[in-house]
Chains A and B, each alone.
Chain A
Amino acid sequence: MSWATVSLLGLLAATPVGAVEPTPAIAAGSSASFFIETIVVDEATRFSPDLILAESRLVEGQEYSERELRDALFRIVRLPLILDAEFSLRRGTQRGRFQLVIQVDEARRWFFGMEGSATRWSRPVTLSGTSTEDVVQGFSMLAGRRFSVGRYGVFFAAAGGQDGSLNLGYSHNNLLGRRILLQISGAYSRCGQAQVSLPLGDEGDQACRAEIFDLGLDPTLSAWEAGEGTARARLTLGVPLKGNQSIRFAGSFLDTEGGFRRAVYQEDPAQLDFLRDRTDWELTASWMLDSRDDPLFTSEGQRWEAGLQVRSLEAEVERWDFENFTSFKTDHASLEVGARLAGSKYWSLGRKDAIWGRLDAFLGRTDFSGVLTEDDRILEGQADVWRGGAAFGYGRFLHRVRTDEKWQELRWESEIEALYSTTSPSFDLPENPLAGFRVSSGLTWRSSWGVFGLELIYQDLGGD
C-alpha cells in the first residue's frame, strides 16, 4: 500500500490548490492534548484490567498528547494474548476533561492445528516402515492452550503433532526491559502413542517421524527415523534493531533413544541400520530483516536472513547382515559449519493475489567420521558443502473476512522450487550431487482458533 507515499505527500511543501478557502481551525491530527480524568478498560475477561492499565503507563489526572496515547496503545498491543486494542474518549466531568476507554480484543486461550499432505515422489522411496512407496502421506493434529504469565510472558502447552508429542514452552517479550524476545520450549514424544493414521495408510506405516538430513550431515541421502522416546529442546533469543531488523540467536537439541536409518533410494526396503543414542544439535546466529505484512499469509514485503550455522549429528550405527547373522557398528559423527543467506520477496497483485520469489544458499565445511554407505564403506574426512535453492510461488485468497466479529481466511498457495546440494569431494556416492525440484499446491485455512492445511506435493530429488 502506498501509505508511506501518501504520508510523504502530506509532508511536502504546502501549495494550496483547492477552490475552498482554508480556515484557521485547529487541524485534525495536529498535536492535540487531552486531560485524562479517568481510564476504563473494556472487554478484558482473561487479563486483569489492572495489568493492561499498568502496561499502558497512563495515569489518571494527567494530560497526554495524541502521540503519547498512541504509544500507550502500542505497548498494550504488544502484550502477549492481546490481538488488538482501540482507544476512544468520552466527556469527563467538566469541559476539557476526558475519560479514556481502552477496548481490548484478546486472543483465544485454546489453539488448534491440522496439517495433511500427500507427496508423490519421482522414484519409490523408503522413509520409514518396510516398504518402498511412490506416495507418502503425512497427517498431524495438534491442540494447545496458552496462559498469561506476568506482564510479558506466555506459557503454552500442546499435545499432538506428527509424532504425538507433548510440547511445553514459555516466551517472554520484554527481557531486561529492552523488548528482547526469549523463547524456551521443549517436547517429548513416544511415537506410536498418539499416532494418527489415515484410512488410506498401510499398517506398516505406523512408524516414527523420519527426517532426511542435508548432505553435509549425512552425504548418503538417508532417512533417519526417530526412536521410541525423543526429547527436544529449543531456545531462541531475538534482539530488535532499528526498523524491521533484528539479531536472532537460536539453539536446538534433540536426543532420541534409538531409531533406524535407511537409504532413501534402495532396492531392498528391509535393509536398515539400527541407531543408538542419537543426538543432534544446531546453533545459529543471524541478522534478519523482515517487512512482510503477514508472517503466514504474506502478500507484500520481504524477509532476509544472513548468519552463521553450526550443526552436529551423532549416533551409534549398527548394520546387520540378516543372511549371515553378523553385524558391525560405527560411530557416526558429523559437524557442519557454514554461512547461510536466505531471502524472500513478495509482490501483491491486487487485493487477493500475490507472487513471491525465494532464494536460499549455504556454503560451509563438514567434518565427519563413521559414515556408513549402502555398499558398506565407512567414510571419514572433511568436505566443502554447498547447497542452494530458488523458488517461485503464487497465492490467492479464496475467502477473507477480517472484521471485529469474524476473522477467517482461506488461501490457496502453489510453489515450484529447484534445489541443489553437493559436497566436495563427493565420495563416489550416487546421490551426490543432488539436483531436483519440488512442486506443491495447497489450501490453508486460518482463523482465531487455528491453522488447518492440506497440501499436494511432487518431489524430485534427481538421480537415476
Chain B
Amino acid sequence: MRRLAVVLTLLLAAATSRADLGEPTLELGQGDRLLVTNLPAIFDDKEIAEHLTSGLTTTLVLTVKTSLSGATKLEGGARITIRFELWDEVFNVTAFGSMGPLQSTVLESKEQLTAWWRSLRLPVMAVPDGEGIRGRAEITLDVLPFSRSEELDTERWFSESVLRAEEGRRSGVSHPTEGKESLAEVLDILIATSIRRRSLTSYSWTSPWPEGSTP
C-alpha cells in the first residue's frame, strides 16, 4: 500500500511537472500563416539541459498536425537549432519557419534563451482557404540531440533487418507451423536487447484551432 502511494505520488508529480510547462497556442498570422506561440519553457528538463550545454548543436523540431473536421489533413512545422559556445558562454540560436530561416541571434544566458523561446511566433504552415476548419490540432516538439539524424536511422537498422528477414515466414503466413526455429529466436533476442535507445525527448499537446480561420 505504501509502495502504491509512493508510485501514485511520483506519477502525480510527473504529470503536474509536465502540466506546469503550459501549452503552446495556435494563432492565425499575416498571409494566412498558422503561427505557434506561447511555447512552454522546456529548458529546465534534465535531458535537454545536458544537451544544451554540450557545446554541440541541439535541434528542436516542432510539428503541427490537424485532424480537423471539414478540412483535409494538414501538416507543417518549424525547426530551431541551439549551440552553446563554451568559451564565450553564449547560446547561438537559429529558428526556421515554414518559409525558411526566420532569425539567428546570440543569447547570453539560459534565462534569455527561455525568454526568446517564449516570445517566438513560429510560422508552421499556410492555411488553405475555402474550408471550414474547426476542432483541435496536435502539436509535437521533438528534441534531437547532436547525435540524431536521418543518416543514423538509415544505417542503424541494417543489421537488424537483414537478420530478422525470416519474420514473415515464421509468423505463419507461409509456415502454418506450431514450432518456431530456436536458432532464429536466439538471434531475435540478441538483436532486441542491443537495439539503440532513442534518447529523444518529446512533448505533445493539443490546441484549439484559432478563431478566424473559418471563412
Residues of A near any B CB (own CB < 8 A): 1-7, 9-23, 25-29, 32, 34, 66, 69-70, 73-74, 77-78, 80-81, 83-91, 95-96, 98, 105, 107-108, 111-113, 115, 119, 127, 136, 138, 140, 142, 144, 146, 154, 156, 158, 160-163, 165, 167, 169, 171, 173, 179, 181, 183, 185, 187, 189, 209-212, 214, 223, 232, 234, 236, 238, 240, 243-244, 246, 248, 250, 286, 288, 290-296, 303, 305, 342, 344, 351, 358, 360, 362, 387-389, 391, 402-404, 407, 415, 417, 419, 421, 434, 436, 438, 440, 446, 448-451, 459, 461
B142 within 8 A of A: yes
Known contacts being A9-B77, A28-B92, A212-B176, is A17 close to B102, with CB within 8 Å?
yes
Known contacts being A27-B94, A87-B56, A89-B54, is A295 close to B142, with CB within 8 Å?
no
- Given A10-B101, A28-B94, A173-B159, 16 more contacts at CB 8 Å? A3-B150, A16-B103, A28-B93, A80-B194, A86-B146, A88-B54, A90-B86, A161-B182, A161-B185, A169-B186, A209-B179, A210-B179, A212-B175, A232-B181, A295-B160, A358-B173
What is the 8 Å Cβ interface bit string for chain B, positions 128-172, against chain A (1 contact, 0 not)? 000000000000101011110111111111111111110111011
Residue on B nearest A24 in the bound complex, by CB: B104
> Contacts of A138 on B, CB cut-off 8 Å?
178-180
Residue on A nearest B95 in the bound complex, by CB: A18
B102–A16 touching, CB < 8 Å: yes
> Contacts of A419 on B, CB cut-off 8 Å?
172-174, 176
A6–B100 touching, CB < 8 Å: no
- Minimum distance in angstroms from B151 CB to a CB of chain A: 7
Complex CA gap A139/B157 in Å reads 29
A290–B161 touching, CB < 8 Å: yes
> Contacts of B29 on A, CB cut-off 8 Å?
17
> Contacts of B78 on A, CB cut-off 8 Å?
6, 9
Known contacts being A232-B183, A389-B173, is A3 close to B204, with CB within 8 Å?
no
Known contacts being A9-B96, A119-B178, is A358 close to B168, with CB within 8 Å?
yes
Mind listing 9 A-B residue pairs with CB under 8 Å? A10-B79, A20-B105, A22-B105, A74-B155, A127-B178, A140-B182, A211-B178, A290-B161, A295-B195
Which residue from B55, B168, B179, B188 sits with its C-beta under 8 Å from A296? B188
A163–B106 touching, CB < 8 Å: no
Residue on B nearest A17 in the bound complex, by CB: B123
> Contacts of A25 on B, CB cut-off 8 Å?
92, 104-106
Interface residues of B in 26-56 (CB under 8 A from A): 29, 33, 47, 50, 53-56
Most buried by A among B120, B169, B172: B172
B199–A246 touching, CB < 8 Å: no
Complex CA gap A20/B174 in Å reads 61
A28–B81 touching, CB < 8 Å: yes
Which residue from B103, B152, B197 sits with its C-beta under 8 Å from A407? B197
Complex CA gap A169/B159 in Å reads 15
| Majority SS at the chain B contact face | mixed
Which residue from A10, A19, A88, A449 sits with its C-beta under 8 Å from B55? A88
Complex CA gap A305/B147 in Å reads 30
Complex CA gap A49/B182 in Å reads 35
A-B pairs, top 6 by smallest CB distance, nearest first, are A161-B182, A89-B55, A389-B173, A238-B162, A290-B161, A88-B54
Interface residues of B in 76-119 (CB under 8 A from A): 76-79, 81-83, 86-87, 91-106, 119
B161–A288 touching, CB < 8 Å: yes
B176–A115 touching, CB < 8 Å: no
> Contacts of B50 on A, CB cut-off 8 Å?
88
B63 within 8 A of A: yes
Known contacts being A87-B56, A250-B165, is A70 close to B47, with CB within 8 Å?
no
A167–B155 touching, CB < 8 Å: no
B189–A87 touching, CB < 8 Å: no
Complex CA gap A34/B101 in Å reads 24
A404–B199 touching, CB < 8 Å: yes
Most buried by B among A11, A29, A167: A29
B177 within 8 A of A: yes
A87–B146 touching, CB < 8 Å: yes
A98–B86 touching, CB < 8 Å: yes
Complex CA gap A95/B86 in Å reads 9
Most buried by A among B79, B91, B165, B171: B165
B13 within 8 A of A: no
> Contacts of A294 on B, CB cut-off 8 Å?
195
Residue on A nearest B96 in the bound complex, by CB: A10
> Contacts of B33 on A, CB cut-off 8 Å?
17
Known contacts being A28-B92, A185-B183, is A83 close to B162, with CB within 8 Å?
no
Residue on A nearest B148 in the bound complex, by CB: A3
Known contacts being A25-B105, A111-B193, is A3 close to B185, with CB within 8 Å?
no
> Contacts of A212 on B, CB cut-off 8 Å?
175-178
> Contacts of A459 on B, CB cut-off 8 Å?
172, 176
- Minimum distance in angstroms from B123 CB to a CB of chain A: 5
B66 within 8 A of A: no
Known contacts being A387-B174, A402-B199, is A112 close to B189, with CB within 8 Å?
yes
Complex CA gap A167/B164 in Å reads 17
- Minimum distance in angstroms from B156 CB to a CB of chain A: 7
B196 within 8 A of A: yes
> Contacts of A78 on B, CB cut-off 8 Å?
155-156
- Minimum distance in angstroms from B185 CB to a CB of chain A: 6
> Contacts of A29 on B, CB cut-off 8 Å?
57, 59, 81, 83, 94
Residue on A nearest B106 in the bound complex, by CB: A25
Known contacts being A23-B105, A27-B94, A450-B192, is A305 close to B165, with CB within 8 Å?
yes
Complex CA gap A286/B167 in Å reads 14
> Contacts of B61 on A, CB cut-off 8 Å?
1-3, 6
Most buried by A among B98, B149, B156, B159: B159
What is the 8 Å Cβ interface bit string for chain B, positions 192-213, against chain A (1 contact, 0 not)? 1111111100101000000000
- Minimum distance in angstroms from A155 CB to a CB of chain B: 11
A28–B193 touching, CB < 8 Å: no
